[in-house]
Chain A
């Protein structure tokens, strides 16, 4: 019975992808600001395809 419990606990842990401590330790404000800054930086580079990435995803799916 005890070993079954351990197996179930392991299965439960495996349902969710593990979190990354570096980021879970951030406050909500830090998280939002970090994402916004990253978006600004990432979109500032030259040579990006003019087609929205969402359309690229849709083409993959269809």
Chain B
């Protein structure tokens, strides 16, 4: 099971991104293989903010988010008290940015591999959780 960072979901949508093709192939693989994915719900806001600031139409971005929410094997997790406590502890322990601590906490709580293009997030998170690049999901099943 995996937790996927917003950076990957953004690269899927953005054709100008050098990681667009591999990210899209990963999503296609994940949907077909019914790979279990868990993401923090706030990732949807991160995706929306970055894509709309690049200039994409609100309607297109909103529809993309709906598609992601519609994937039966992708769950977006709401912050519970327990998860918030863990997030705070991770931010204190690793001295990471708030958003990084959320992804690392979700990965740790649900015992997931954190998939991300954010090198700093991966480097700092790997002391607590397993981290990897998106292509590793495809390679692990081949």
Closest B residue to A45 by beta carbon equals B57
- The answer to whether A19 touches B70 (Cβ under 8 A) is yes
Give chain B's interface secondary structure class. Answer: helix
Q: Is the CB of B56 within 8 A of A48?
A: yes
| Interface status of B130 (Cβ within 8 A of chain A) | no
Chain A interface, number of residues (Cβ within 8 angstroms): 37
The contact size tier of chain B is 35 or more
Q: How far is the CA of A35 from the CA of B24 in the complex (A)?
A: 9
Measured between C-beta atoms, what is the minimum distance from B60 to chain A in Å?
4
For residues 27 through 58 of chain A, which have their beta carbon under 8 Å from a beta carbon of chain B? 28, 31-32, 34-36, 38-39, 41-43, 45, 47-54, 56-58
Which B residues are within 8 Å of any A CB, using their own CB? 6-7, 10-19, 24, 27-28, 31-32, 41, 44, 46, 49-51, 53-57, 60-61, 63-64, 66-67, 69-72, 75-78, 80, 97, 99-100, 117-118, 120
